[in-house]
Chains A and B, each alone.
Chain A
Amino acid sequence: MNRSQAATTLSSGTQPTVPTLQIDNVVKRFDAFTAVHGVSLHVNAGEVVGLLGVNGAGKTTLMNMILGLVTPTSGSIQAFGMDLAKHRIEILRRANFCTTYAALPGNLKVRHNLMIFARLYGVANPKQKVEELLELLEITKLSEKKTGQLSAGESTRVNLAKALLNDPELLLLDEPTASLDPDIADKVRKLVRHIQKSKSPAILYTSHNMRDIEEVCDRVLFMHEGKILAQGTTAELTEHFKEDDLENVFIQIARSGGDSTKSEIGNSK
């Protein structure tokens, strides 16, 4: 089944009964400022959902709420059918993430960092898993290097290796191709597709790179000022907004401030 077929199938209502990630009417307020306004979304197993939006749209706040780093003001976040507020540790054992906002300790070797996180995530055979991932991400030659001596591209691949240590059923990727050269970015995209096909995790993927989203995501959500303004497949969105590609859809939504995009389209929940 190709990606568009998969998305169409999801749209036609044959979703699994319990999505891997289910967010209902989540609101996050910081004093008078509302960062996230009643967002609802779901991500099913084997699905890659792209989260797009300008800086300050609320994407990272949403990601941080899913990771339990920020508590929602109201609404609920469930993963694997469990409430995040009550089962944070159980959920985090089955989830993982990669973000540009976090780094691994720079004065430890790549191998040491990965081994430690493998143990934190309860990986059964950490040594073997680390070797597998070093090979998969083509970073075996970096394993004895200090993490702080790596280039941006190398660091991203090491962070991705950390994110895959526990074979997560829910994977959050926050701008994984930011600051990567086109060759490495292409490899990362292919890797995400490979993981999706081989392990079928639910993946929530934020990026400012429209090519990332077009190539990798089954479904796209546009966030603006804390709200999801539009969602659907790339084809549905470009058709709805009468644009040639996702980049122009993004620009239209960003510049209109969401005024012309009040309707949800595509496979909304």
Chain B
Amino acid sequence: MNPSIILALLTRYLLLYAKNPVRLFELFFWPIVQLLMWGFVTVSLQRQGSGSFPTYIAFLIGAIILWDALFRSQQAVAVSFLEDVWTRNLLNIFAAPVRMTEYLAATFGVGILRVVITGLVLAVIAVFAYSFNLLQFPAPLLLAWYANLMLFGWALGILSIALIVRWGHGAESLAWAMPFMIQPFAAVFYPVSTLPPWMQAVAVAMPPAHVFEGMRGVLAGKPLDGSELLLAFGLNAVYLAISGVIFGRTLAYARDRGLLVKVAAS
């Protein structure tokens, strides 16, 4: 991998963001709306007097902030690719001396920046609106959670690109919806034990489920189970490897069928 190529691609994506007010608006708008809406819904329910709600509001605010890391990193990969499709620039990139690993690394870089920026904004809002301090979690633990969520987001992002390459613009909506397809199994806003047995079996195979279970455990005052984190990292390695293989095979298929050119020209 050539770092200067990754940096050039990353610069391009950042310029595309900086020069497009709509993209900047989108970067902040949805996470803030989600945090405010669900946060105040929870506060309202809490005021109506349910006993367990003081803990639940912390679960929910923490889950919203952490879920955003997964969603942003998936979107960074998928939308960066779509930017190249929308600007009819895809052929210029795919016919340039750019390795796909370099291309993906640049989109991962976009993901890191998006997660850092929105994460900071959401963390500050959470302090002022709900007295929820994200830094109540130990920094290494917080970093490990973020890393796991972003790794899984990247794996989903790679699969999203593969879908678009394979099925063209028809798959764009799937690329947007992909994180929400796994959300019910990821036990973001409720414990895994709430799910029916077959869904619990699926949830065990989902790295985010282990992160959110861990976060709820820490907020409830339980000791952290390090094996859950290790399992999440291990699962992420498997998902990244699988998504990489699927992406590589899809690209080979697309080159064979002329799909890259079709997607680029459509």
Contact = CB atoms under 8 A, between A and B. Distances in A.
Interface string B76-115: 0000000100011111111111110000000000000000
A120 B255 contact: no
A101 B91 contact: yes
B90 A121 contact: no
B197 interface: no
9 residue pairs, one from A and one from B, having the closest CB atoms: A119-B8, A102-B91, A67-B95, A103-B88, A92-B97, A105-B87, A93-B97, A71-B255, A116-B12
Nearest to B259: A70
B49 interface: no
Given A89-B98, A105-B83, A117-B92, 10 more contacts: A67-B91, A68-B95, A92-B96, A101-B261, A101-B264, A102-B90, A105-B89, A116-B12, A119-B5, A119-B8
Contacts of A107: 16, 19-20, 87
A102 B264 contact: yes
Contact of B257 (A30, A68, A103): A30
A69 B260 contact: yes
A89 B7 CA distance: 18
A139 interface: no
Interface in B136-181: none
A74 to B, nearest CB: 12
A interface residue count range (under 10 / 10 to 19 / 20 to 34 / 35 or more) = 20 to 34
A119 B6 CA distance: 10
A128 B16 CA distance: 23
Main secondary structure of the interface of B (DSSP, over half): helix
Contacts of A97: 95
A108 interface: yes
A95 to B, nearest CB: 9
A70 B20 CA distance: 32
A67 B94 CA distance: 9
Nearest to B255: A71
B255 A69 contact: yes
B12 A108 contact: yes
A102 B258 contact: no
Contacts of A61: 258
B26 interface: no
Contacts of B87: 103-107
Interface in A128-152: 146
Contacts of B8: 116, 119-120
B11 A108 contact: no
A99 interface: yes
The listed residue with most B CB atoms (<10 A of its CB), out of A70, A97, A121, A146, is A70
Contacts of B61: none
Interface string A84-128: 000001101100010101111111100010001101111000000
Contact of B5 (A67, A102, A120): A120
Nearest to A90: B97
Contact of B92 (A93, A102, A112): A102
